Amino acid sequence: MTLPALDRHSAVPLYYQIQQHLLGQIRSGALKPGEPVPSELELSAGLRISRMTARQALKSLCELGVAYSRRGKGTFVSEMKLERNFRQALSFSEEMQARGSKPRSRVLSFEVTDATPDVAKALRLPHGEKVVSLRRVRLADSSPMGIEWSRLPLQLCPDLLRSFDPRGSLYQALQERYGIRIAVTEEVVEASVAGAGEAKLLGIRRSAPIFAFTRTSYVRGGQPVEYVKSTYRGDRYKLVNRLTRPDGGSAGED
Amino acid sequence: MTLPALDRHSAVPLYYQIQQHLLGQIRSGALKPGEPVPSELELSAGLRISRMTARQALKSLCELGVAYSRRGKGTFVSEMKLERNFRQALSFSEEMQARGSKPRSRVLSFEVTDATPDVAKALRLPHGEKVVSLRRVRLADSSPMGIEWSRLPLQLCPDLLRSFDPRGSLYQALQERYGIRIAVTEEVVEASVAGAGEAKLLGIRRSAPIFAFTRTSYVRGGQPVEYVKSTYRGDRYKLVNRLTRPDGGSAGED
DNA sequence: AAGTGGTCTAGACCACTCG
DNA sequence: GAGTGGTCTAGACCACTTG
């Protein structure tokens, strides 16, 4: 087991340097699933750091899901595929890039409107507040994948209509222009079938299976930023989720 | 701000006692969304504990998603609905009970078979290994919700066929009889339409929208325990997910 | 008995935010 | 400058697992 060379004068925290090193060992196969990673004492003695720092490094590994700890036994590399295929709160652009496809958009409308009751409720706006509304057909490598209808509070992004090219990445624009960073997305997913309008926009036949999403995205503190209703082709789109169980407590099986 | 009375002789960790107390304050409304929770120094001075312990309590709150910290500012109650409606790796029985419905099952088959290639791969079994196969129609309050087809490695639960009443909760039996506790589930969700056989079992018309799930469940270390293919009615079933963004890093917005 | 992780202490320096 | 969280130290006792 090779230990990392730490840079004690770096702005990068020690525990994070260790975490990254171990992550590299796991990815490269030097540490295999089921094998123990260095114990807290091994790390603290070998790297001349305090045990709490070693502990923080191992804990952060566990939080990533790539390792797990057992009291009295040690910390081990998880046997789960740690492929990053699991769904996160990605924008369409990010998701398509992660798949190796080129995201494109066909803009259906881009305007300021009054918030309808469902939008106002989701975005926690007063009745009749103005929102930016953006409707787009989303394409991957020129083939239609879904229809998205986003609404954002106008006050959060007052000149979006003028400054944003609606064919580009909305999340990127929000971050760059307003410093708004989405932290979490809540979504409701329904299975449905395409209506006539959807079928035409998506290039599928009527009554073909589709996913219907209703999503609300929030910044870190919980303020809602975006409310999206979207429709995705059932033949082109799958959801890959990773669900954890409520407790996961520390009682012993084995 | 009332601080909790700590029991220093309890087996319950101090940080956990504090976490539970703050959680209670948030749920009761004594601490409202956006308000600061007691700072690390307030807790450590007021409760005569070390700052690291106070910190652990606050950090555990943040990990639950009910609070968030900002360097230089403080730790605040998150504005997100902290309702526990988000999907977790629940069994059908648990999910229906959480909804207030009574779970029931109609058993279609319950037998030992050879693992097909897809099953062997998902459960990481050698070719031709035996698996327990259980097919059921799942009902909520006597109305059909979905069809589930579970396969489990026979070696993990050798006498399940004899000892388990297949109308009951499989997860509960696994835990009670074999000490097996599911920790995480990976799933692939597809939108589809009912075929003739599914339509009949579910009491819906042919071509009605359905969800098709392919799930693999693992114990804490990552060993696969159950492989399930299931079909759920699109008119009765919604997925409510909470997705987080990759980074969530600590750069400053506000 | 030796090794492991879980919890806890009493300090320390730093970067950041705000008045 | 005062207060905040982020990191780090060098110890400690405990419960649990294994030989």
pLDDT above 90 as % of chain B = 60
Mutate to test the interface with A, among B80, B157, B218, B242 (most CBs of A within 10 A): B80
pLDDT digits (tens, 9 = 90+) for B62-89: 988 889 998 999 999 987 665 556 777 7
Q: How far is B115 from chain A (nearest CA, A)?
A: 21
Contacts of A230 in chain B (CB under 8 A): none
Report which residue is nearest nucleotide C4 when distances run from CA to C1': A72
**Prediction pTM value:** 0.83
Mean pLDDT estimate for chain B:
89
- A22: tokens are 């171990």
Chain C bases near protein CB atoms (7 A cut-off)? 3-12, 15-18
User: Å from B250 (CA) to D7 (C1')?
Assistant: 14
Q: With an 8 Å Cβ cutoff, are B190 and A234 in contact?
A: yes
Pairing of strands A239-244, A143-153: unpaired
CATH of domain B82-240: 3.40.1410.10
Q: pLDDT (tens digit, 0 to 9) for every residue of chain A, 254 residues total?
A: 688 889 988 999 999 999 999 999 998 989 998 899 999 999 999 999 999 999 999 999 998 888 999 899 999 998 766 555 677 778 888 888 888 899 999 999 999 999 999 999 999 888 889 999 999 999 999 899 999 999 999 988 988 999 999 999 999 899 888 888 888 899 999 999 999 999 999 999 999 999 999 999 988 878 899 999 999 999 999 998 888 876 544 333 34
Average pLDDT over every residue of B22-49: 93
pLDDT confidence of B251, banded at 50, 70, 90?
very low
List phi, psi (to 5°) of A159: -110, 25
Report which residue is nearest nucleotide C9 when distances run from CA to C1': B50
3-state helix/strand/coil string of A161-192: HHHCCCCCCHHHHHHHHHCCCCCEEEEEEEEE
What end-to-end distance do the CA atoms of chain B give, in Å?
26
Report which residue is nearest nucleotide C10 when distances run from CA to C1': B50
Q: How far is A9 from chain B (nearest CA, A)?
A: 20
pLDDT confidence of B154, banded at 50, 70, 90?
very high
Alpha-carbon span A232 to A95, nearest angstrom: 13
Examine domains A14-77 and A82-240 and report if their fold is the same.
no
Q: With an 8 Å Cβ cutoff, are B241 and A241 in contact?
A: yes
Q: How far is B156 from chain A (nearest CA, A)?
A: 11
pLDDT confidence of B254, banded at 50, 70, 90?
very low
Contacts of A211 in chain B (CB under 8 A): 191
Contacts of A97 in chain B (CB under 8 A): none
Q: With an 8 Å Cβ cutoff, are A89 and B211 in contact?
A: no
- Which residues does strand C reach (CB under 7 angstroms)? A 39-42, 51-52, 55, 58-59, 69-75, 250; B 13-16, 48-53, 56, 70-73, 252, 254
User: Å from A70 (CA) to C12 (C1')?
Assistant: 31
Q: With an 8 Å Cβ cutoff, are A209 and B193 in contact?
A: yes
pLDDT given at position A95: 85
Report which residue is nearest nucleotide C7 when distances run from CA to C1': B13
Q: What is A14-77's CATH topology? A: Arc Repressor Mutant, subunit A (1.10.10)
Q: How many CB atoms lie within 10 A of CB A156?
A: 18
| Nearest nucleotide by C1' position to the A16 CA atom | D7
The 8-class DSSP code of residue A112 comes to E
CA-nearest residue of chain A to B212?
Answer: A191
pLDDT given at position A222: 81
pLDDT given at position A253: 38
Report which residue is nearest nucleotide C5 when distances run from CA to C1': A71
Q: With an 8 Å Cβ cutoff, are A222 and B254 in contact?
A: no
Contact of B16 with B1, CB cutoff 8 Å: no
Alpha-carbon span A79 to A71, nearest angstrom: 18
pLDDT given at position B247: 58
Q: How far is B241 from chain A (nearest CA, A)?
A: 5
Residues B196-218 as b/e (b if ≥16 CB within 10 A, e otherwise) read: eebbebbebeeebbbbbbbbbbb
The 8-class DSSP code of residue B235 comes to T
pLDDT digits (tens, 9 = 90+) for B157-182: 988 999 999 999 999 899 888 888 88
pLDDT at B250 over 50: no
User: Å from B17 (CA) to D4 (C1')?
Assistant: 23
Alpha-carbon span B215 to B6, nearest angstrom: 43
pLDDT given at position B249: 43
Q: With an 8 Å Cβ cutoff, are A241 and B78 in contact?
A: no
Q: Where do the domains of chain B lie?
A: 14-77, 82-240
- Which residues does strand D reach (CB under 7 angstroms)? A 13-16, 48-53, 56, 70-73, 252, 254; B 39-42, 51-52, 55, 58-59, 69-75, 250
